[in-house]
Amino acid sequence: MSNASEAMSKVLWAELFPAELIARQQECPIVFVPLGLCEPHGQISAFGLDTFKTEYLCARVARQVGGIVAPSMGYHVHEAGPSAKFLEDNVGEHNPFMSSVPPYVFYHFFLYQLRSFYNAGFQSAVILSGHGGAHVHDLRQISRMFQEQTGMSIWYGTDFDLVEGTYTGDHAGKYEISMLMHIRPDLIDPSKKGLEELDGAGGRLAAAHDANEATREYGEQICRACELALSRIAADLGQRSQAVTNRMPLPYEVVEDLWSQIVQSAEMGTEHWAALQPRAGQSPVSEQSRWKPYEHIRMRD
């Protein structure tokens, strides 16, 4: 690969030299943000499936349409609210070895992530999460609040959103396992399926029943569809974005004011925050379950 070709292929913020970052940003002032989580995806899959999906898609699209890929965020929301019952049913009392944090920790930090992109001069942010759940509603709401405050254009969604109506997303089923088979075949090992039957191995560990139907070819189809949809989203944002010079940095006080609004809205019930309590009609978590303490939580200042 020539030096010029190598420079063009570099899209990761962490790998760019200052002159390279400035050039890419001036050409296309969009930042791609991969979000994921380490969590069980069955005995046959690596824990980081969610993160690998988004890193792959963000880098592929940034090379096609321009922009820069921010460092991945490998911590996310999972134990709280509706997720507590999901984990009881699909993981049980086994150690899930998850990189999960409380919503109020993640949401507060998410605001500061957005601030870092704004202060770095990006006009738009494409935030792609490989991990779905009730928190998606909340993070879209926070993105909208930040956008209204600053004028920065933000798209937040999951890979499931990108192919809605064409492919059906899942958790560690035919959809997700197929994607990882295509992206990182070295991190899928069907021979480990027998571990589900062994005492102390954690059973299915949240694997869907149709995981056996996964194929690398199906994963490639899903990834292509995701890429196409994400490229369209980024191109649309890019048409409405221009490089920013001499932007005044956003101080901490603005972020803290937004956070105070979020906490107050949760305490007063003026806004719905989906990851803080079970969904309407959802069965309660068993009293003896390790997940019971996280079924109902509050936003904290």
Provide the 8-state DSSP code for 123.
Answer: S
Question: Given this model, what pLDDT does residue 194 score?
Answer: 80
Global pTM value: 0.94
Residue 32: partners with Cβ closer than 8 Å, 6 or more residues away: 11, 58, 59, 61, 62, 67, 68, 69, 70, 125, 126, 128, 234
CATH architecture of the domain 8-284 equals: 3-Layer(aba) Sandwich (3.40)
Sequence-ordered strand ranges (E) for 28-178: 30-35, 68-69, 124-129, 153-158
Question: Given this model, what pLDDT does residue 231 score?
Answer: 97
Q: How far is the C-alpha of 99 from the C-alpha of 234, rounded, in Å?
A: 29
Question: Given this model, what pLDDT does residue 241 score?
Answer: 63
User: Which segments in the chain show pLDDT lower than 70?
Assistant: 1-8, 241-245
Matching residue, tokens 């509706």: 82
| Cβ(234)–Cβ(126) below 8 Å | yes
* HSE, side-chain direction, 13 A CA sphere, residue 234: 29
Q: How far is the C-alpha of 46 from the C-alpha of 69, rounded, in Å?
A: 23
Question: Given this model, what pLDDT does residue 243 score?
Answer: 57
pLDDT for 167-203, tens place per residue? 999 999 999 999 999 999 999 999 988 888 777 778 8
277 phi, psi to nearest 5 deg:
-155, 165
pLDDT for 204-256, tens place per residue? 899 999 999 999 999 999 999 999 999 999 999 877 766 566 789 999 999 99
Give the Å distances, CA to CA, from 94 to 78, 91, 97.
15, 6, 9
Question: Given this model, what pLDDT does residue 242 score?
Answer: 60
Q: Where are the domains of the chain?
A: 8-284
Sign of CA dihedral 92, 38, 161, 209: negative
232: helix, strand or coil: helix
